[in-house]
Every structure is written in C-alpha cells, then in structure tokens.
Amino acid sequence: MENWFDFLFHASVGLSLFFVVYWLLLRQSTHFTANRIYLVLSVLLALIIAAFPFHYTVTLTPSASTPLSNLSGILSHQIISGSKHIPENNGVSWSTVLLYAYLTGTALFALRLLIQTWRPLRVIYSSEPKIRDGYYIHENDKYALPFSFFNHILINPKYLKQGEISEILSHEQVHIRERHWVDLLIIELLTVVFWFNPFIWLFELAIKQNHEYLADQGVISRGHSPVRYQALLVNQLMGMQVIGITNNLNFALGPTRLNMMKRQKTSKKKLFHMAWGIPVLAFMLVAFAEPQYEKAAPATNTAQSEATKTIHGTVVNEKGEPLTGATVLIRHTTKGTVVDRSGKFSLEIPVDGCELVISFVGYETIVKKVSPKKDNLRFRMERTIIAIDPGSSQAKKEVPASPPPADLKQADSKAQKDGPVFFVVEDMPKYPGGDEALKEYIESKKEEMLKQAESEGKTLKGKVYVNFVVQTDGSVAEVKIVRSSGSQYLDENGIGIVKGMPKWTPGKQRGKPVSVSYTLPITF
C-alpha cells in the first residue's frame, strides 16, 4: 500500500505541473485540437511516469562487519530482497487511518459516477431512437438540457424550437464524431482515483471546456450564423449539467466561451508553448527515478580474487563523530560501499591501489589515493564553509579552514539554541542595505581600528577568517576565528568588526527562518 501512496503522490505532482503549463500558456489559445491532445496526453504521461519510474543501478560492496541487508535503513531503499522484521503495533497507525479515508472517498465517488451514468442509460434503453446521419436521437421529457452520451443524443422537444434543433444536433454531432467521450471517460475514472487532488478536477473542467470550444467551432464552420447560435446558447443558460461523462450544451457558458467564437486565430508559433511540457517531463523522470542497489558479483576465478584486497577504514566529522551513511566509492567506477552506524567500512580495491571518493551531504568531498598495503584508514571530513566576500555580490565556497588557535577557539560563548545551523539555504541571509553596505561598514571599521593601532604604535597587516552564525532573529552569534592571521591583536580586531554588525535579515529554508553559518575574510 505504501507503493500505491507513492504512486498517488508522484502522479499528483505531475498533474499539477502539467496543468500549470496549460493554465499559464495554452488556455487562451484557439488551437483547440492541439490543446485537447496536450490535456489528455499530459494526464496519461503523469500516470505512466509515476507508475513506471526510471531505474538506475548502483553496485555496492558490503562491509565485512555489516550485512548488506542492514544497509537498507541508511539508504532508505531495500538493497537486496529478503524478509524485513516489522515491529508489532497493536494501536491504529496514521497510515491505516489515511488508507481508510482514501478508500472511503474512492468508494463514494465511484458510487456517484455509477448512479449518474445509470440514469441516462435507463432513458436510452427505454426509448425508441430516431436515426439521423448515423446518430441515435432520443426524445425524452426527463432532461431539459440537450446532451450527448457516447454516440447517443438526448433532447427534450418541449424546451426547443423547431429551428433550434439543427444547431443543437450539429453541436452534439461534433462531440460524437470527434469521440470526445473517450477523453471524458478517462478523466472521470481518474477523478474517482484522485478525488483528493484539486488539479484532477481542474483538468476535468479544462477538458470539458475545450470540448465545447471544438463543438462551437464545428457548428460555425458548417455555415450556421454565429449570432443565432450564441443566442441559442444563452437561452440554454439555465439548464443543469446531467453527469460528468456527458457533453452538455451549456457547459462553461459565459463571456470566455462566447468570446472564443469571435477571437482571432492564434498564431501557429504559439504552439511551441507546448514545449514547456518537456522540462516538466524531464523533472519527473529525474525527481522520481529510483536507485536499485545490488551486491557486487563475487570473483569467478582465482586470478580475480588475487587481483583485489579488502581494506578497512573509518569516516568521522570534524568532532570525531561517525558519519553514518557517507558514501565511499572507487573513483571512476560504480563500485563502493556506505559507512555503517559506527563509522566503519570495508571495501575491496585493486592490489595496485586506487583513488577513493568519500562524500556526504554538507561536507567537502575527499579524494585520496590509497593502497591495500595500508589498512585501517581514517578519513576526517570538514563541513562545507560558505564565505562572503564584501567586494563581491555573491557568496562563494572556501577551502575548509585549519583549526583555530586554542586561545581564540571560544571567541563567543553564546550557545546557539535556534535549531540546526545550515550552510546553504534557499534564501541566504542579507546584510541591511546589501553587499555594498556591508563593504562600507567593514571599511569604516577598519579605518577606525587602523587609526587606533597607529596611536598605540601597533601594526595591523594580514588576513583573518572570522566565522559567525546569523541566527533566526537576524542577530550575529558564535563569532570565532577559523583561520588565524598569526597575530592575536589582528584576530581580536577581526572579531570586533563582526560582533559590531547590526541585525541581518535571517536566512530561510522552506519559508521558515533558520540559522546560517558564514565565514568572512578580513584583510588589513
């Protein structure tokens, strides 16, 4: 059932993106046939990509101390097939509640569709049709509004003048001739499955509206008077829609539909707007692609087993803590492994050595030449530091700094209590007035400190890297030296410049303020 909910979510994302393209670029176009193809095809593509995602394979070598099946908790994908232990839970889970709510909604909408479909079917099978130009026409007194149902047309002569029947039949014949019922059948069945998604109802509305544009165009192209035809539509304005799977004469009747009949034909160049669906398609293929982890094939002969040797290692962060889930790969291959919960890994490498690539989100990637002659390797990963240059308008990555001197390591004792500290976020913090204002502030502070140093007979010359955190309220905290200038006096002045900063506009991740770490190089 979890896979079914994944399918519903992925398909819903695709439906929403495809509809946004239609709404922004295509809904005002008079290329109604092209729009029909786009609407139906985009719905089907969203379903197909969600149901059959692109797969790619990653070959992993399991650690000797960690069974390969245990890595599924780290990678969030099952690496090899096998039974999984599911802890017993006697209570009702949220997933169960969600499942029952979804099935209840599906059953109700399915019942609604069946009831609405049965009523016109009963009229069709209980009446004797008149055949005209190969179409079945059923006169009835149950429905006031004319509509087509598959290849049947239902009309009520009591509500129509004799001269209006010709236009009505022409209108409904377009629906039947172009098989609009196929589009309606698809979209109505999907409203049962995706009843919770507002975009499926918007698709239904757009498809039906486009059908009416096509029918209006077909009636006028057969020589009927546009003025007379519009008057007929207005007269039918008060009729009620019968069911979702029918084409109703007065559907979406309003200024937009009437104006579409008079609108000048859209340029063919605007058909290229449909090409914006290609990035949506590419996004879905990439975003919903699923990796398949598989165990590396064992050596098939003695020569192959002698060509490799197993090495062991440990991966930790700058605090010496295990980096569980870090990836260890042999460079230029797909052969690798992941670090277990204790920070350890084992990997078979060629006997003549190779280059290992160790990576983890938020940390600088390590590329190092290793040899099986040296075992029990230890890799210490440094966090990616984002440095801001006052003379530049953009933040840039700096090489991880060396450890600060012992006497400056705790330059600011204020504890950071605003949650995790980020290094890169969607909306980075902003200094009041922008980068130019930050540059002016630093230059003015440097001039003041230079004058004071001259008066004290001291010299300020060198470059210091000061790290600080812009907190969720915009204040500056945790100011410390990450790369010393070699002069304690110059380092202290650099800290003073940062501590004197006014409040920033805090950074945001998913619309919420978060703490962000920066490194500021200051040159005296």
The whole-number pLDDT of residue 298 equals: 58
**DSSP-derived pairing of the beta strands 308-316 and 377-380:** parallel
Q: Which residues of 153-175 are buried (b: 16+ CB within 10 A; e: fewer)?
A: bbbbeeebeeebeebbbbbbbbb
Return all residues near 315 (Cβ < 8 A) that are at least 6 apart: 322, 323, 326, 328, 339, 343, 345, 358, 360, 379, 381
- What is this structure's pTM? 0.46
Handedness of CA 453, 457, 462, 466 (dihedral sign): negative
Return all residues near 466 (Cβ < 8 A) that are at least 6 apart: 479, 480, 481, 482, 494, 495, 497, 498, 519, 520, 522
**The CATH number of the domain covering residues in 296-380:** 2.60.40.1120
> Which helix (DSSP H) or strand (DSSP E) does residue 326 occupy?
none
The whole-number pLDDT of residue 277 equals: 85
What is the Cα–Cα distance from 305 to 299, expressed in whole angstroms?
A: 6
The whole-number pLDDT of residue 106 equals: 92
The whole-number pLDDT of residue 170 equals: 77
The residue extents of the domains of the chain are 2-53+97-284, 296-380, 385-523
Task: Give, in order, the Cα–Cα distances in Å from 349 to each of 251, 303, 325, 327, 420.
Answer: 69, 14, 20, 15, 37
The pLDDT profile of the chain, 524 residues, written as one tens digit per residue, is 678 888 999 999 999 999 999 999 888 888 888 999 999 999 999 999 999 988 878 776 655 444 444 444 443 333 334 444 444 555 667 878 888 899 999 999 999 888 888 888 888 888 888 887 778 888 777 776 777 877 788 877 765 555 566 777 777 778 888 888 888 889 999 999 999 999 999 999 999 888 888 878 877 777 666 666 666 665 565 554 445 556 555 555 556 666 666 666 777 888 888 888 899 888 888 888 887 777 666 555 444 445 788 999 999 988 889 988 888 999 888 888 999 989 999 999 998 899 999 988 667 889 999 998 888 999 998 876 555 655 544 444 443 433 333 333 333 334 345 567 777 667 888 999 988 888 899 889 888 888 888 888 777 788 888 888 999 999 999 999 888 888 888 888 889 999 999 999 998 877 889 888 888 888 87
Q: Which of 322, 391, 393, 381 is nearest to 356 (CA)?
A: 381
Hey, what long-range contacts does 230-237 have (CB within 8 A, 24 or more apart)?
230/258, 230/261, 232/164, 232/167, 232/168, 233/257, 233/258, 235/164, 236/145, 236/146
